[in-house]
Amino acid sequence: MDGQDPADIKMGNVDEEESSVVVHGTVILGIDPEGGEALLFKDLEVTNSKVKLIAYLAIDGNLNKSIELGELKENRGTVKIAIPLGTDTSPYNTVVLRDQKSKKKVAVIEL
């Protein structure tokens, strides 16, 4: 995401505490140097390592108006998830993290 116009980058911070899961970090939506666009979770920390989180790019946190991006493979550090090629990301203003097992939203991050 280096070398691109900062106006083209959407970014938000997550600091959510949901019952058994606490999530901290920064979320960045921008151009992936390897091609296309990507969602980057920077300085990610998920306190419950047993939970499997699924990331969605959504409009106003609404999962009915979202694209499922896939599972966060790591609970700490930097995690990158590719956006499907050809996706117009301009209408999406939130990232939703949802517990795969319980289907509950763990975090809604405004970009």
The domain containing residue 75 runs over which residues?
6-110
Q: Residue 38 has what pLDDT?
A: 93
- Give the pLDDT confidence score for residue 6 in this predicted structure: 47
Exposed e or buried b per residue across 59-98, where buried means at least 16 C-beta atoms within 10 angstroms of its C-beta: eebeeeebeebeebeebeeebebebeeeeebeebbbbbbb
Retrieve residue 92's tokens: 């999406």
Torsion sign (Cα): 66, 70, 76, 77: negative
pLDDT at 4: 52
Q: What is the pTM of this model?
A: 0.82
Question: Residue 42 pairs with which residues in a beta bridge?
Answer: 26
Length reported for the chain: 111
Mean pLDDT, consecutive 10-residue stretches, the chain (111 aa), reads: 53 58 87 89 86 94 96 92 93 93 89 90
Six-digit token pair at 54? 């699924």
pLDDT at residue 72 in the model: 93
Per-residue confidence (pLDDT) for residue 1, from 0 to 100: 47
In a domain, residue 1? The reply is: no
Q: Is residue 100 part of a domain?
A: yes
